[in-house]
Chains A and B, each alone.
Chain A
């Protein structure tokens, strides 16, 4: 399925002239041996992501979207719809089964980052991407200091001056409302909300063009969620960083994302401007999703 990215809000304005920072085409990841039927026999119509022929899981298939500089796109969908898998493929944790992705900062956006050799792929991730994982223990080393966690990204991006690294880490942690006095403490001692804020500081450290955020608030108390979302809105206003925000919470997406993809059984079933999707959902699944929450 191809999603046409016409933008009724910004049509004809400068927005259209800006090249996307990230362009994803037909991203597909199959877990299992795979067979010629896998994609055809799975998806929302089949109401499953498991291929009846070979038993493979089509975690995501034909996911396509574009992201413009400094913009935020949301991905919503039920548990198991393939959101995390898509993010992990983009970040380089997983190799996709097929599909292409282009980043403006890698060879002028003309070369598929999935085709990059392992060393280039690692450099793309270290210099140009950031990721916040659903579970802080995936994104942080809980046994090295929170400053050290942020430093890891800077070191990966070849910062080689300890004083500068500490300044930058202190600045980012302070920005995320982690007291600088706790910078040399291990995040294992921190609350869940603090750990997620350390993750955000870490993800932003190297000045990435795109940050991928996976359910960053779902493990948090509602009151704590609000604080983290406030901080994310500040970041959006102040940084030139584009974001992909994965959530199963439509409220989070409405707050942070101009545009949204809706996923079900590994496919994108609807894509467009977030407010339009929420007001006038087309796909029956989206209608169900919207009606089931009290917006």
Chain B
């Protein structure tokens, strides 16, 4: 009896002694985990923060107010009845006249040229749009806010170091004098840069936007989704539920797994060779981009779908077969609804990768300079990551801000896609 008791006690003591060690190990492990999460978070914050702060100026834009006289003579309009009278008019001359009038002291040719560069070339389009919408403005004088050139915009945003010697500055002293006088008269304003969201690409940073790239990405991803989800799910269901297990299916399985690891540029080469050169599909088109990205995404979708099919408990299958459901009914009524959330997650992961993909799109010519927003899947277009890549390559300083802004749009696109995935998951998720 007593020996039994001491034995019990000693066990408890031994447990107690080891407890300390065990809890210490647990605390250590928790600390490591927390530390690694913190490090990851810090890097994420630094990364996002730097992108965000670089991008902020790109969402603002400077406008300069001028009294523009729509003088028919200056515009070179002889016959107002002519259908293209307002299209071919010389709006540049009107802007120049307005600038000369605002700064009458400017006389030398080189100074005039500098003065004219204050207003972006986009100003002429603005005036053209105005006059076409309201022809009655002809021969009147209007106060118009015109987009400033990107260098001028940079000056107003404080990007120019005025303490540097004049020769090293892109904005000279005389320009500074003009700009300050405009500012003092309230003829400068800053506004939200709608151009960034509504325009296509441009050589001028102040006129460049992401609309065409965003549309291109959207169309490309739409094709990728519409093709890779049904194909991937069907392939996964066939391989998991119907295919006989033999050497051929093993071979297919190995190949699918290998395909998932193939560098994406290889898919681009394949797309170039097959879809463009062989099938004669147009270059730079979302249809080809979508097809190439489908090839790239398909293995991911198949692998994720198979995994989620495998995770459906076999007892559900047995239950369905046991009451006499056919194999197809078992899959459609029971396996698929349970596997769908996992399939969706896999698909979204694949789509997110496709959204950020640049290399294969370069191969099929989606790297072009696209101003027009693509109207359909056969129109030439580019994609967001490619647009970012193009802008990073541009010499104008303002493009680096646009690049950061475009990255933010890309990230927002990604986040909303993930959000959609979470919502869909919630909707379809069922416990058993």
Are A and B physically bound partners?
no
Interface residues of A (CB under 8 A from B): none
Interface residues of B (CB under 8 A from A): none
